[in-house]
Structure 1
């Protein structure tokens, strides 16, 4: 029986869902136990992730337009989303005490930047429809993390709605992005381009690097 695009997206997300205990930092933030310096590091690391992912998604959109046109709108929307998220990130960073001098002097942590580095690698040589599937599965977990963080920042840290806007943005449902993902995957299925083994590899590595991102920040709390 051939899966539809919706079914394949759902089953892929289920297969690649991370174990709830893998993100050690999230429970600390959720109960207000993470230090503000760690939150500041989260903001600073995200500023580098956002900039890198935006470039990767733009490159994927350009590649897809030539190789798999149905995937291009998905990556175009991701690039636009990163731009919007980046505009909101500054308010969160400011609420964490990050000023321009601190941002300029900050040295990114390798464990946090492995994720965008792998996204850049996929942008260069990954199969667009397969990447759509892998990223969609990863975004499901990321959105849940952001919802938890946004609630905790208001509840325990007294952050304003504006300061929480970065996390609110990713926590909100994105029906248009979901529709573009379905269209990309459906076209990939019809063209016989979907390789589920590759999708799982892409997704497994994305989730592993995502976990590394959070674990690296959690280690700051152990010092």
Structure 2
């Protein structure tokens, strides 16, 4: 018999699963019809997203440490993961022809940066346990996108394993992160500190901003 926390994570993830039509780009990458130029833009946008999310997660971990240590452990693990992802992103960017000069001159797309801006809002304003639930649901969709992209980059675009490591990292299931999310949600439920309505709202907005990210990339010149 599963714990209510695990059940809640599963049902929330299912309820917030994105409409396949909300992401027009990943299916095109999957079948090899997306232009190679979009990968440089993806790398450049992620060079803004990853460090921003890392700092937001670090702040959430700090906010949670005293009252909600299980949530703090979840956010600390996320922050560590973003740091590792940033290292792998450099290899992908190089494979896309992105250098320091291009990175410095790049103007990020508002539609792509709405997601990390909202994560920062959550870090400042939302109850940590509610954010755990919302993020856990969103990460499921993101991981699936990354798995699809990693395979397509190798199959259709000739990228090396090193260049694909950024997407491999997010595509790989993380039992540790799942365990920490379950512990944080369980503790909040037991203490009556989890607002499911707020968590669902946050998760819905995260999924919407995720869709905006991919749509902005699709429309990028």
> What TM-score range do you get, normalising by the shorter chain?
over 0.9
CA distance in 2, matches of 1:61, 1:67: 11
Alignment of 1:1-223 (within 5 A): 4-220=4-220
3-state secondary structure, aligned to 2:65? helix
- Once the two structures are superposed, residues 184-203 of structure 1 have per-residue CA deviations (whole angstroms, 9 ceiling, x without a partner) of 00000011011111011100
Structure 2 unaligned segments of length 5 or more: list them: none
CA distance in 2, matches of 1:66, 1:59: 13
State the shift of 1:157 in Å.
0.6
CA distance in 2, matches of 1:164, 1:115: 23
- Once the two structures are superposed, residues 71-120 of structure 1 have per-residue CA deviations (whole angstroms, 9 ceiling, x without a partner) of 11000000000000000001111111111111111011000000000000
Q: Which runs of 4+ in 1 moved over 2 A?
A: none
3-state secondary structure, aligned to 2:21? coil
State the shift of 1:36 in Å.
2.0
CA distance in 2, matches of 1:87, 1:66: 30
CA distance in 2, matches of 1:172, 1:7: 22
CA distance in 2, matches of 1:155, 1:92: 16
State the shift of 1:6 in Å.
0.4
TM-score w.r.t. length of structure 2: 0.97
CA distance in 2, matches of 1:152, 1:82: 23
CA distance in 2, matches of 1:65, 1:205: 25
CA distance in 2, matches of 1:40, 1:90: 11
Structure 1 unaligned segments of length 5 or more: list them: none
3-state secondary structure, aligned to 1:131? helix
State the shift of 1:37 in Å.
1.8
CA distance in 1, matches of 2:44, 2:66: 34
